[in-house]
Amino acid sequence: MKPRVTVGTCVRNGAATLAEAVESVLAQDYPHELTEIIFVDDGSTDNSNEIMKRYVGKTDMRLRVFSQPWRGLGASRQLIVNAAEGEYIAWVDCDMVLPTDHVRKQIDFMDRNPKVGIAKARYGLSKEDNAVAILENIPFVLHDSRNGSLDLKLPGTGGAVFRVEAIRKVGGFDSKLVGVGEDQDAAFRVKSGGWLIMRSPAIFYEKRVNTWKNLWRKWFWYGQGDRQLYQKNRNVFSLFRMNPLAGVVNGFLQVSDAYRLTRRISVLLLPFHSAFRITAWCFGFSKGKATIPSM
């Protein structure tokens, strides 16, 4: 039976969280005979590849594993777009955990809304997170709770479902974008192609970094990748908004709602956290390559 949904996971050195993400996919209540899983190992140097291959032949979902030398996220996601047999691609990152109804709610939403090219699920709040992880997650949770526009902040792939017809019609992912930003670039082109981008009722959880050191590394990497994205298309995001002062202001505006939601005193650090990560992003942006490499 041909699958209706392809669960796509791109992995590079994700061994620490990969198994839990996979188990949450296998536990989905959407019909397994209508689901296929495609893993792409993008040059991992840990045992991510071995973890993925453990599941081959041990699930009633069709499962394929592709391995390649490091090529970057754009190329990895495009490999899945090319190989997908489903009508939809539900993107699941290796640091995500899905409730059992996640895929079903995503597909039901897309079936009911044929003009939607991308549907983004809502971030869930894990109360087990430490202060750093809570601070990292809360802005996304608040944004979703307010039904904030997805036009100003184009959705990433994690927790999103793409209509295969839509992403293929706009040329797929840009394989030349080797860092982050390949998802926003694709979403921009899907929207420009006349498809709608909406928020679905599905929920997902993301395992956030839980130390300040790793938070700096993460946002520095984001800045490096976004330098290439900005070079390609300056309409994807506003560079003016990416400054530490704006982060402080935005953090102050979030404190009250964040406390009502979490009842944690640590949310008072949101202005500092927001300025901290944007500062890391700015340093990464300044160090990123201004040109997109030829492949």
pLDDT in single tens digits along all 295 residues of the chain: 899 999 999 999 999 999 999 999 999 999 999 999 999 999 999 999 999 999 988 889 999 999 999 999 999 999 999 999 999 999 999 999 999 999 999 999 999 999 999 999 999 988 778 999 999 999 999 988 877 667 656 888 999 999 999 999 999 999 999 888 999 999 999 999 999 999 999 999 999 999 999 999 999 999 998 998 888 888 888 888 889 999 999 999 999 999 999 999 999 999 999 999 999 999 999 988 765 544 3
Domains of the chain: 5-287 (3.90.550.10)
SS3 19: helix
**Residue 292, pLDDT score:** 53
Are the CB atoms for 131 and 141 separated by under 8 Å? no
d(CA 5, CA 104): 10
| DSSP bridge pairs for 88 | 5, 163
d(CA 224, CA 246): 20
Tokens of 12: 């590079």
Number of residues assigned to the chain: 295
Instruction: Give the pTM.
Output: 0.92
How many angstroms separate the most distant Cα atoms in the chain? Answer: 54
Are the CB atoms for 11 and 18 separated by under 8 Å? yes
d(CA 291, CA 82): 26
At a CB cut-off of 8 Å and minimum separation 6, what does 77 contact? 8, 10, 40, 91, 157, 172, 173, 182, 183, 186
At a CB cut-off of 8 Å and minimum separation 6, what does 200 contact? 105, 106, 109, 110, 119, 120, 121, 122, 161
Are the CB atoms for 52 and 18 separated by under 8 Å? yes
Among positive and negative, which fits the CA dihedral 191, 221, 106, 162? positive
Residue 235 CA from chain centroid, whole number: 20
Residue in the structure block whose two tokens are 């209508």: 34
d(CA 90, CA 184): 16
